[in-house]
Chains A and B, each alone.
Chain A
Amino acid sequence: MSSAATVPQAPSFGRRLKRFMADRPIVPLVILLVALVVILQILRPGIVNERWIANTVKFAIPLAILAGCQTMTMLTGGIDLSVGTVATMSAFIMATQIVNQDPTVAFLLAMTPAVLIGLVNGIGVGVFRVHPLIMTLGTSLIGTGFLQVYQRTVIASGAKIPDFLNWLGTGVSFGFPNALLLFIPVAVFIVFTLNRTGFGRLLYAVGDNERATRLSGVRYWQVILALYILSSLLAGITGLLYIGLIKAPSLSLAEPLVLPSVAAAVIGGTSIFGGRGGYAGTIVGALILTVLTTLLTILQMPEGARRMLFGAIVLLVTAAYLRITEDR
């Protein structure tokens, strides 16, 4: 693979292409996304229209925000598997508390578990140095337990979806999904945090070389604590958005999004070992996964075969991506 490197004056076209793609990792992702849309259009001519695009974006947004949580935690070499439970909890609490409470109170109540779980995750990972995978799996288990107990206390009062969330999750204005009103600020916030703030730089630094970062005087636990609380808050907000989209509060509402959110971040080029990646790729990754799901639904694959192909594609894309970007 490195034979071309010995002739520096005349790099082959393939190598130049590789270098270009390594410098701009988002390019192959966008190409893949376009290819998937083209395949979709060929299989079902006429499906790709304004309404379809709005719909795809609508379903990709919750996934993209959750994948944002994964991107940020992965940059430090971590992972946040509790996002599904946090999103479900905030959605379920919102839908049940809105019946008797003021919207502001309901909102605050809905965000409480998010903050608490983020806090526990942060303390566990940052102070006690538990592996993030286990810590967040554990807190999500505890969260689900609390939710089941909570469900019984509100079984009489019923649930409803607040009109505002309904509008935000499902509505489309001027051909654009209203959810973009939430997503664009969130995306700008994440990108800005990662690229332009000291906190963002610290996330990269911690993931790249934790020891060196600590020796340079960074308080590791403070960075991690802030990170996991932020991640949980974003997951909680996603839950509110998602309930407006799905409109059926259940105890496993956002659970199916957890593994795809990890996959989206990985496809988007964020290294699961930390220190490398960004949010732009993750957004494209979330779009790719959403389009892929549509494609498989259209092909009328049985649920089992769909999941199998989904797994195979996640693996293939990641492997191909690694091949393209590894010759840095």
Chain B
Amino acid sequence: MSHILRRQGWVAGLFALLIILFIVTKLIQPGYGSGDFGSLARAVLPYAFAVAAQTIVVIAGGIDLSVAAMMALTSVTAASMMAGASEEYALFVVPFVLAMGLVLGALNGVLIVVTRVPDIVVTLAMLFVLQGAALLVLDAPGGAAAEWLKATIVGTVPIPGLPDTVEAWLPKALLLLVVCLCIIWIPLRRSRLGLSIYAIGSSELAAFRSGVPVARTRIAAYAFSGLFAAMGGLALTMSTGIGAPIPGPYLLASVAAVVLGGVALGGGKGGLLGPIVAVFVLRLVRTDLTLLAIDPNVTAIIEGVIMVAVVMFGAFITMRSRQS
């Protein structure tokens, strides 16, 4: 009971932090409005999917170093397939790329199970492989995205009966994020498989002895991670309109947000909500620093220091609670 309280307390604390940050933002830039919130949601989108991909693997007691490379590969694949193709063709591209992410993620899992090499090494090797594959697909940023796909994250959600002022705070990107995550996460969390994922992360031996199919569960966790990463890749293509073969800073950001979100790196603890809120917090900090007209390079330093400080604080709290 106290454990649940502590976990929810962590997420609630993050929400409070997010609200404080919004207030700070409003103080710095009194003109900060719905349009800026929309662009924040769009900026968060690829990060949020990367974090979701990392979260599920970390809960299962692993780590996925190939998240960013997977996003790069799926992004260039989608962009190069859609280049010069008709609008309708994209209807085929999206499921294809998602399936690709699922399969490549499952491959990660299969390799870990079959070779028995530590997951950190397998996903590191996969990082090389996926990066290389992305370079083979497109050796320079390029490709294109279908117009309707780009439009799905621009603008706001029209809901009849709501005044425009409220509607303006519901960007499509946010809706897309919530829908995509909920569609997968909520059924998964309530299913047997979801419970198994938590079980193998908590104690693999205990899970095995209780009859959890450890190998299958691990593969499934990595497959879902790949699926989320593919969504992230698509989100990248959707927001930029092209695909870039060089992975972005999503690996570090995903791990930091996972920790900040209250998911123990040992596995078996935490949920998806915390890390997602953490992503918003981290991105909003960046927005604030930009609004304060701070040199972007100094921004990178401050962002890093904040990330490290928060992680240190989190580790300190965990240590204290373990001792008492």
A residues near B (Cβ < 8 Å) are 79, 120, 124, 128-131, 133-135, 137-139, 141-142, 144-146, 148-149, 152, 259, 262-263, 266, 272-273, 302-312, 314-315, 318-319, 322, 326
Knowing A141-B304, A272-B120, A312-B125, the reply to whether A302 touches B311 (Cβ < 8 A) is: no
A310 to B319 CA separation, bound complex (whole angstroms): 39
For residue B123, give the distance in angstroms from its CB to the closest CB of chain A.
Answer: 10
Residues on B with beta carbons closer than 8 Å to the beta carbon of A304: 131-137, 139
A315 to B107 CA separation, bound complex (whole angstroms): 13
Binds A, one of B180-188, B224-232, B292-300: B292-300
Residues of chain B in range 278-318 having any CB-CB distance to chain A below 8 Å:
295, 297-301, 303-305, 307-308, 311-313, 315-316, 318
Question: Which residue of A is nearest B134, CB measured?
Answer: A304
Is B63's CB within 8 Å of the partner chain A? yes
Residues on B with beta carbons closer than 8 Å to the beta carbon of A266: 121
Is B116's CB within 8 Å of the partner chain A? yes
Partner of B132 from A141, A259, A308 at Cβ < 8 Å: A308
Knowing A138-B311, A272-B120, A272-B121, the reply to whether A148 touches B134 (Cβ < 8 A) is: no
Partner of B311 from A135, A146, A315 at Cβ < 8 Å: A135
- How many chain B residues touch A (CB < 8 A): the figure is 49
B135 A303 Cβ-Cβ under 8 A: yes
| Further pairs besides A134-B259, A266-B121, A308-B129: 14, Cβ < 8 Å | A128-B313, A128-B319, A138-B252, A138-B304, A138-B311, A141-B252, A145-B303, A259-B128, A308-B136, A311-B124, A312-B125, A318-B121, A319-B117, A326-B116
Is B255's CB within 8 Å of the partner chain A? yes
Residues on A with beta carbons closer than 8 Å to the beta carbon of B297: 145, 148-149, 152
A137 B252 Cβ-Cβ under 8 A: yes
For residue A73, give the distance in angstroms from its CB to the closest CB of chain B.
Answer: 13
A145 B300 Cβ-Cβ under 8 A: yes
A308 B128 Cβ-Cβ under 8 A: yes
For residue B63, give the distance in angstroms from its CB to the closest CB of chain A.
Answer: 7
Is B95's CB within 8 Å of the partner chain A? no
Task: Return the 7 tightest CB-CB contacts between A and B, nearest first.
Answer: A311-B128, A307-B132, A304-B135, A308-B132, A145-B301, A304-B136, A145-B300
A133 B63 Cβ-Cβ under 8 A: yes
B residues near A (Cβ < 8 Å) are 63, 111, 115-118, 120-122, 124-137, 139, 249, 251-252, 255-256, 259, 265, 295, 297-301, 303-305, 307-308, 311-313, 315-316, 318-319
A145 B304 Cβ-Cβ under 8 A: yes
A128 to B126 CA separation, bound complex (whole angstroms): 31
For residue B98, give the distance in angstroms from its CB to the closest CB of chain A.
Answer: 22
B307 A308 Cβ-Cβ under 8 A: no
What are 19 A-B interface contacts by the 8 Å CB criterion?
A128-B313, A130-B311, A133-B120, A141-B304, A141-B307, A303-B132, A304-B132, A304-B133, A304-B134, A304-B139, A305-B132, A306-B132, A307-B135, A308-B129, A311-B129, A311-B131, A312-B129, A315-B122, A322-B116
A272 B118 Cβ-Cβ under 8 A: yes
Question: Which residue of B is nearest A137, CB measured?
Answer: B252
Partner of B308 from A135, A146, A148 at Cβ < 8 Å: A135
Q: Which of A128, A135, A263 has the most CB of B within 10 A?
A: A128
Question: Which residue of B is nearest A271, CB measured?
Answer: B118
Partner of A302 from B116, B135, B300, B308 at Cβ < 8 Å: B135
A149 B295 Cβ-Cβ under 8 A: yes
Partner of A148 from B126, B300, B313 at Cβ < 8 Å: B300
A263 to B252 CA separation, bound complex (whole angstroms): 19
A120 to B308 CA separation, bound complex (whole angstroms): 10
For residue B147, give the distance in angstroms from its CB to the closest CB of chain A.
Answer: 29
Residues on B with beta carbons closer than 8 Å to the beta carbon of A130: 308, 311-312, 315
A314 B265 Cβ-Cβ under 8 A: no
A212 to B127 CA separation, bound complex (whole angstroms): 35
Partner of A142 from B116, B136, B137, B305 at Cβ < 8 Å: B305
Residues on A with beta carbons closer than 8 Å to the beta carbon of B312: 124, 128, 130, 135
